[in-house]
Amino acid sequence: MSEVAELARTTLATHQSLFLATSGPTGPWVNGVYFAEDGLYSLLLVLEQRGRTLAALRENPMAAVIVSTGSPADPFLQATVRAEILEEGPDAEAARARLLAKVPYVAPFLETPIVTARLRVESWRVTDIPNGWLPGRDLAA
């Protein structure tokens, strides 16, 4: 595995949330969401059924994410993603189980009116400023 892929995997594994930027009928919006990775290029999450983020993704499934501590001194990931809403059934249940395994305190949220989604990543931008990765390194699926 390449150094870039290893840093991307480690960054995903050590973060439980990300920022998801959407653009929909009410304009641009950024939301923090819990996630679980399903491989390096697939992220699983749940969204409020009546929330602004889900409405935006239904209108425009293209979005952007950043996985970061918020400090540019720490490695971070950026990507454009395509959202896929998972209909109720085995795929949605498996995604929620994976999310619950990674982020156990999300359990109460899973009892509310939610929708499960998968974000498909075409390419990561992996940035590690202290190690000289500026601009970041691209990691294509």
Render pLDDT for 57-76 as a digit per residue (tens, 0 to 9): 999 999 999 999 999 899 99
Domain total of the chain: 1
pTM, two decimals, is: 0.95
- Taking residues 37-62, report their average pLDDT: 97
Beta strands in the chain (DSSP E): 17-24, 27-34, 36-37, 42-48, 62-67, 76-86, 114-128, 133-140
Look at residue 25 and tell me whether its pLDDT is greater than 90.
no
CA dist 89 to 77, 98, 106, Å? 30, 14, 20
Look at residue 9 and tell me whether its pLDDT is greater than 80.
yes
- Taking residues 90-100, report their average pLDDT: 97
Look at residue 91 and tell me whether its pLDDT is greater than 80.
yes
Look at residue 1 and tell me whether its pLDDT is greater than 90.
no
- Taking residues 90-110, report their average pLDDT: 96
Look at residue 131 and tell me whether its pLDDT is greater than 80.
yes
The CATH number for 19's domain is 2.30.110.10
Range of the domain at 116: 3-140
Q: What was the pLDDT predicted at 5?
A: 97
Q: What was the pLDDT predicted at 58?
A: 96
